[in-house]
Amino acid sequence: MAFYLIMSLGAAAGLFFLAGADFVGAMQLMIYVGGTLVLLIFGVMLTAQGPFISMKTRGGDWILAALLAGILLALLIPAAFSVPAWRNRASPEYLAGVHERPATSAPLAMGLVGARVDRLAEADVNRREGMSGYLLPFEIVSVHLLVVLVGAA
């Protein structure tokens, strides 16, 4: 049941993205979908203890998982490099106008890759080069801590 709730909330976020309300869609994903997912993980961790203790993984399962992961990686890497906007670094003309478009997801994306969104309007190229934020490392550490917490249970 909770999985279907996560899927429907994710679909609602997708509708917000399609409607052009990127900020509302991102908040829908982070608050509602993320919160429901964390509650689902904690619910499984705290209630289902018996079946997970006796679960064994055979060698063939690891081989199958590695094969499927390799196939998925072989499909995703060419697809990612085929996007023209991802081939080159963002031009200074594009970065200069990001702060003027608050209704788009561009400031959120720039923050995730480490740029300080509050200083994107700097006219001096040298001052803009040294900008770095800590949002992406923070997200990586938070996901790592969640994985450690789930693995410790």
| Average pLDDT for 49-62 | 74
pLDDT for the residue 8: 94
- Does 148 have pLDDT greater than 70? yes
C-beta separation of 6 from 36 below 8 A = yes
Domain boundaries, the chain: 1-50, 89-153
pLDDT for the residue 38: 87
Q: Per residue in 86-121, pLDDT tens?
A: 665 555 665 565 555 555 666 666 666 666 666 666
User: 3-state SS string over the chain?
Assistant: CHHHHHHHHHHHHHHHHHCCCHHHHHHHHHHHHHHHHHHHHHHHHHHCCHHHHCCCCCHHHHHHHHHHHHHHHHHHHHHHHCCHHHCCCCCHHHHHCHHHCCCCCHHHHHHHCCCCHHHCCCCCHHHHHCCCCCHHHHHHHHHHHHHHHHHHC
Q: Per residue in 72-87, pLDDT tens?
A: 999 988 887 777 666 6
Mean pLDDT, the chain, integer: 76
Residue the block writes with tokens 């992961």: 69
- Does 55 have pLDDT greater than 70? no
C-beta separation of 132 from 116 below 8 A = yes
Q: What is the reported pTM?
A: 0.40
pLDDT for the residue 72: 94
